[in-house]
Chains A and B, each alone.
Chain A
Amino acid sequence: MRTFNQGGVHPPEYKLTADLAIERMPTPARLVILLSQHLGKPAKPIVGKGDKVKKGQLIGAADGFISSNIHAATSGTVHSLEERWPAPTGQYAPAIVIESDGTETWADGLNIDEEKPLELSREEKLKRISDAGIVGMGGAGFPTHVKLNPPKDKTIDTFILNGAECEPFLTPDYRLMLERPAEILKGLEIAASLFSKDTKIYIGIEENKPEAVKAMEKAAQGGPFTVVSLKTKYPQGCEKQLINTITGRTMKEGQLPFDVGALVHNVATMFALYEAVAKKRPLVERVLTLSGMEVKNRKNLIVTVGSLVKDVIEHTGGTTTEINQVIIGGPMMGKAQYTCDVPVTKTTSGILLINNTEIDSLRERPCVRCGKCISACPQGRQPWLLADLGQQRRLGDMPGCGLMDCMECGSCTYVCPARRNIVQWIKYGKAVNAARKR
């Protein structure tokens, strides 16, 4: 069974929502649509207070090369433009608040049925992807049209669909693969058609999801796809690890996937890409998992982008006990929130509700030099060293020890018997070093 060459951990899976079919959550009366749901510059608002908008209408225009379009997720009226709204990333971002009129009328020219999306020209496909504001929905939110348009001197020979979904609790990609395999593959084919015909297309799925492997194999029959079953190991879904697993190539520090001739796309992104190209539907809704041990009705939901987390929790009926922590994303890489007023964005793959008894609040202790973090690091780095440098405020020395090679997967912190905040120190080092460079 294939897996990446070094490091990794296997936390308990807790895929509690794996057997629950995706349901649709009705659009709440008020949506808060963040203008920064992607990497790069926030979009520029192009509507004003009181404007009537239709579903799918452009309300925030991409500002710069690495940026993405933002659309009204329902029809209604612009209630206000907020300068500062808590975003799930732990920062504040500008937002547009829309009062829904309940009709969900699509804007003109959208929501069509394209007969043969594959035969559109390359420019048209890329334009539709960029117009629809498609971003990497696995969590980072890198604009997909930029990813699909690598520099001319790079040749892409491998295209990978990331179905690893290695974070505990999360199941939206798994349910999508079970319920909409044909659409995902069409999206994948459209994306791969932007490159040469010889591009190999792999679908990587972890072995703990045999149903998904079966569903994708069935749908992929006769197509140019190879379904690969992977050994379950976190962080297989990180693109560096997935490329290593499937192609055997290793990305050096500072390299991007196209430097080794590969591109990795998430399942949900490919589904959204299919809808964008074939149906001209902007990215205004996504599948997410609401889970946690104390949640009354755990669910996989299609949620309109801009619904507040509290709306989602209310919709499912809340929790059995009081909740102390709300995490957006998975337990390994997700971010704790201070308010349930944060909206669902294009990159919100899960909402995790955690009770006080489940939080391990042991104090950080000194490093015992056991070396577990080194064996766990999928990048082959020395996490303890980076954490030490951070703790001693020797931040200038951190880049020389592989600071930027770290993708903050948290494996080191997960295995540390001394409960050191290793990944937190690394994130801290990155933040200060980035600020000093400016």
Chain B
Amino acid sequence: MVAGILIPVVSLTVTALALGGCIVLVSKKFYVYEDPLIETITKLLPNANCGACGYPGCSQFAAALVETRNPQLACPVGGEAIAESIGPILGMKLAEAQPVVCAIRCQGTTKHAKETAEYHGIMDCWAAMQAFHGTKLCAYACTGLGSCLSACNYGALRIEDGLLRIDGDRCVGCGLCIQECPVKVLEMVPRSAWRYYIACSSKDKGAATRKYCDVGCIACKRCEKDCPAEAITVTDNVAVIDQNLCVACGVCIDVCPTKSIVLIHDSTKKRISS
């Protein structure tokens, strides 16, 4: 009776000890050192794994940071706050990723942009590009079919009146939407409290742009002339604001005859952090 209990208990204990010993040996033998810093830093990162930094996810970014100690590596989503919290851990000053936000350089809603015909094809921008750039006459206009929507992990994009709208509070500036756009109408602009940008990317001549759209940049150069900071230049029939020079005075908006310059006032400066 006692033997009946003892035999299995003893044999199982011996087997368990032996196997446990094996595990200890194997874990010693095949031990891979991982810097504990990697885990600490990963925890501080936004952990959205958006890939905007160029690495597959946040832990790979942390590993690269610890391994290379390159102060130029930066998390575009976390920006200043993240750089400040990670810097002391590594004992160095990290570069701040300039926080950016997505902007659409088009205002061609169904009301403003002239349309060609009804589109019955596949509701996807890339498919519409095969059929005269979708329904809008302007070749530089947002087709409004929303191929970019699925690229956004933050729900910052939506389609309204045949045009893409961006929720600046939700956008983290990862830039994944840019490569989904066949028209190349999306652009990253610095996330400042008062942002001005030209909401048109038409390289057509002024007369043609006017024919296709009410709110297109016709390259009249009035903004270029009147900008006190000399931040605006007109190249290829479209104005571009150099965001580093812009002082956010708003003169350009007043002179623009087609109202193609847009101001976004961002009071929150909200940002994703850990």
Contact = CB atoms under 8 A, between A and B. Distances in A.
A84 B133 CA distance: 12
Interface in B166-222: 182, 204-205, 208
B204 A84 contact: yes
B150 interface: yes
Contacts of A335: 131
23 contacts: A84-B139, A84-B204, A90-B130, A90-B131, A91-B132, A92-B132, A92-B133, A92-B139, A336-B131, A338-B132, A339-B117, A393-B150, A421-B122, A424-B127, A425-B122, A428-B122, A428-B124, A428-B126, A431-B126, A431-B127, A431-B129, A431-B130, A432-B126
Contacts of B116: 338-339
Interface in A265-293: none
Residues of B contacting A: mostly: loop
A84 B116 CA distance: 15
A361 interface: yes
A318 interface: no
Interface in B114-140: 116-117, 120-122, 124, 126-127, 129-133, 139
Interface of B: 116-117, 120-122, 124, 126-127, 129-133, 139, 150, 182, 204-205, 208
Nearest to A433: B126
Interface string A396-438: 0000000000000000000000000100110110011001000
A435 B139 CA distance: 17
Most A-side CB within 10 Å, residue of B121, B129, B130, B205: B130
**For this complex, into which size category does the number of interface residues on chain A fall?**
20 to 34
Contacts, number: 43
A333 to B, nearest CB: 13
A86 interface: yes
A336 B139 CA distance: 18
B162 to A, nearest CB: 16
A338 B120 CA distance: 12
B127 A427 contact: yes
Contacts of A435: 126, 182
A83 B182 CA distance: 20
Nearest to B179: A436
Nearest to A86: B132
A428 B127 contact: yes
A427 B150 CA distance: 20
A91 B204 CA distance: 16
Most A-side CB within 10 Å, residue of B120, B121, B132: B132
Given A90-B130, A90-B131, A339-B117, 10 more contacts: A83-B204, A84-B139, A92-B132, A335-B131, A336-B131, A361-B120, A421-B122, A428-B122, A428-B127, A431-B129
Interface string A302-315: 00000000000000
Interface string A72-110: 000000000001101000111000000000000000000
Nearest to B119: A338
Nearest to B208: A84
Nearest to A391: B122
Contact of A338 (B117, B139, B182): B117
Contacts of A84: 139, 204, 208
Contacts of B121: 421, 424
Given A339-B116, A428-B127, A90 B132 contact: yes
A435 B127 CA distance: 12
B98 to A, nearest CB: 28
Nearest to B124: A428
A26 B216 CA distance: 40
A424 B121 CA distance: 8
Report, nearest first, the 5 A-B pairs whose CB atoms are least far apart. Answer: A338-B117, A338-B116, A428-B127, A90-B131, A432-B126
A51 to B, nearest CB: 21
B16 to A, nearest CB: 47
Nearest to A84: B139
B135 to A, nearest CB: 8
Contacts of A91: 130, 132
Contacts of A421: 121-122
Nearest to B182: A435
A357 to B, nearest CB: 16
Contacts of B208: 84
A86 B204 CA distance: 15
Nearest to A92: B139
Interface in A322-357: 335-336, 338-339
Contacts of A92: 132-133, 139
A428 B132 CA distance: 14
A339 to B, nearest CB: 7
Nearest to B133: A92
